[in-house]
Chains A and B, each alone.
Chain A
């Protein structure tokens, strides 16, 4: 074989090696980038911090985890929270621990729920699916509409009742039936309640309607 042929083969070989190295590094980067590990770790850490905060709240409370978590399953026990994907081996589950005061309890299992809630009832912390309603259904809390198609939701004595209606393919809400806001906002525009925000329960409802936009039959 002459020198020129040998050097061509060497150059080709070297190019192949470079391409192989580039492919391996890109594959590694892509594998880590597509992995759900960071999301699972964040969810576990954030839920742990939420539980610590709930322990500090005197009395009862409910808080929802703001991220959509339909890909994951959760197990809450007396001292730990586990986050995993269905079918995953237990050795890749993300588990974080926390410490509850004496006589406190924690339990709950949720799988494939869009949103999850942590509720503190007496000295028990429960992990559950939020707004126990199927997607693209009108939340049952809204009840039945009046003759004008307006739903009323009363979140309690300390909250102003809010009104909801389904108009032109999307939901709107109002504190007074005069000024209507799209569910894309949680701030009142106009009227007596201008620039105010609803209570947390109504904000949850508004967010739900914004996300799922459940249609009304025979609109």
Chain B
């Protein structure tokens, strides 16, 4: 009886200790494992199971391998109205900072094949502009910030393997979509002159080049 009693007591202590640790862990994280899993699944319904993107009515961007700092900044920008997007300003609602960070970390670790699909004939021109810029039109080399492999760093996004029509749309619409809160200017302003100076055919070429980058 004594042995059974002490074994039961030990199990009881272990159970309480483990469950307490679980509760404290969840509270520290700022989300529960279940709700994070559900939220990530929700993201993948549009952005693809591997975060590879999807061509819906509008091109839905690839998230796989995206820079976490950039990712988190965009989620905040959508909700704060600094970045305009009729779908994302709603979809990104109600996320805690910890959840945003966890989602960003999840997608940054995913791998997907580059989307490609752009006209191959544009790639050479796009590569030249990406690597050398275009001094005639005051366009700096994209590579200088986005990196020679177009994987970005910190707050500068990865572009490699992105949907070409997504890149095209964002560059063409930059001033209409980013930095939309004049009271809170953000880092997206750094792309204003470049996106303005690039011609549409140059944008098409860059987008084509990037879509094939691994």
- Do A and B pair up? The answer is no
Which B residues contact A (CB, under 8 angstroms)?
Answer: none
Which A residues contact B (CB, under 8 angstroms)?
Answer: none
